[in-house]
Amino acid sequence: SGWDPRLERRGASCRVGRGVAWRRLVVMAGRPKSQTPLVCHGHTRPIVDLHFSPITPDGYFLISASKDSSPQLRNGETGDWIGTFQGHKGAVWAAVLNDSAFLAATASADFTARVWNAVTGDELHSFAHKHIVRTAAFARGQDSCKLVTGGPEKLLRVFDLSRPDAAPETAALASSIRGAAWIHDNKAMLISYSDKPNLDVLDTRTLSVVKTLETAGPVTSIDVTDCGRFIVTADGSQVLIHDGTDFAVKRTFRPSGYSVEAAAYAPDRGKLVAGGSDMWVHVYDETDSEVEAGRGHHGPVHGVRFAPGHATFASGSEDGTLRIWQTEPPAAAVAAPVAAKETRDGQGV
């Protein structure tokens, strides 16, 4: 059925009872430290988006979008599979959960955005578009009944899920929409584009552009820290961290040796995570020094996100796997390099 019948929300824990075993760090001479992550299999094509829910009474969850047309939901702590959302007929470019993690939304190349019951896996709504849908994002908090979508159609749509049959609010934009994120208590929205640089700030009351944040190239990743204090973008040549209130640039980081496609920031831990063309997951401190290089992916890294609390972060890759890493791994152990295993505790994830 594509859904784990063991899952019972609000009545039992969603966690599967196996323990989580993390390997210790290995020091390799002349290279940044590396750890062996939890590896989550299940997708058959590249993973292009991932998203953690906030912490809920049932824990927190991780959803992933893939070109295999089948978004997947997992326990965000253990990586254990919960279910697969079945129904899309094309690549899924975005997948998100609302703040309660009761709803999921997906954006697809089949010209639809869909809303799902994240407890049962049932499809609740399918919103037809006239072109590929590249992004979907729930408003935060009490307004999480609102959903924004966009894509190459260059038309931003805002749906009210409390009135799903009503026509959405719309705004025609000048370029193909790639990403969207709500900010400022849902009074503003960030929009990125596939075919031009910069990040636009929209007033959600009028859906008009009120400010533009300059970037070196098209923005491939937007991360708003869970406290809302910072906005993190990746654009190929650099990562920018903007103040979430006044949009001032707080930090500019230019990686060496790879094109950066995704980045995420944990301000309380002073860690910036970035991934891209070289297939590694890089961890940097506040001085831009690389403190860890996560190896194991066999294709470019398309997405990275911190889990709630920032104790772990996840990466998704062209190789079709999700990997969950520790932000502060155990003390390094001096040893010969070991090959990363594709299973955890001897069992496939």
Full-model pTM: 0.87
Instruction: Retrieve residue 238's tokens.
Output: 């650099």
Cα(310)–Cα(327) distance, integer angstroms: 7
* CB-based contact 228:267 (threshold 8 Å): no
What is the DSSP track for 205-231?
Answer: TTTEEEEEE--SS---EEEE-TTSSEE
Cα(178)–Cα(151) distance, integer angstroms: 6
* CB-based contact 170:192 (threshold 8 Å): no
Please state whether 154 falls in left (phi above 0), alpha (psi between -120 and 50) or beta. Answer: left
CA–CA distances in Å: residue 102 to residues 92, 157, 197, 237? 20, 22, 34, 37
Q: Which helix or strand (DSSP H or E) is residue 241 part of? A: strand 239-243
CA–CA distances in Å: residue 8 to residues 5, 42, 58, 118? 8, 21, 9, 11
Instruction: Retrieve residue 239's tokens.
Output: 């990562």
Cα(212)–Cα(109) distance, integer angstroms: 28
48-214 matches 23-41+220-338 in CATH topology: yes
Cα(57)–Cα(132) distance, integer angstroms: 35
Res 14: pLDDT = 30
Q: What is the pLDDT of residues 21-44, one digit of tens each?
A: 333 233 334 456 778 899 999 999
Q: What is the pLDDT of residues 190-238, one digit of tens each?
A: 999 999 999 999 999 999 999 999 999 999 999 999 889 999 999 999 9
CATH fold for domain 23-41+220-338: Methylamine Dehydrogenase; Chain H (2.130.10)
Q: What is the pLDDT of residues 254-263, one digit of tens each?
A: 999 999 999 9
What is the DSSP track for 145-184?
Answer: TEEEEE-TT-EEEEEETTSTTSPPEEEE-SS-EEEEEEET
- Report phi then psi at 312, rounded to 5: -140, 165
CATH fold for domain 48-214: Methylamine Dehydrogenase; Chain H (2.130.10)
* CB-based contact 111:129 (threshold 8 Å): yes
Average pLDDT over residues 74-79: 97
Domain boundaries, the chain: 23-41+220-338, 48-214
Cα(33)–Cα(268) distance, integer angstroms: 21
Q: What is the pLDDT of residues 100-151, one digit of tens each?
A: 999 999 999 999 999 999 999 999 999 999 999 999 999 998 778 999 999 9
Instruction: Retrieve residue 66's tokens.
Output: 């893939």
Torsion of CA 53, 56, 61, 63, to 10 degrees: -40
Q: What is the chain's Cα-based Rg?
A: 19
Ordered alpha helix ranges (H), the chain: none
Res 36: pLDDT = 87
pLDDT tier at 264, thresholds 50, 70, 90: very high
In the predicted structure, residue 16 carries a pLDDT above the cut 70: no
Cα(285)–Cα(102) distance, integer angstroms: 35
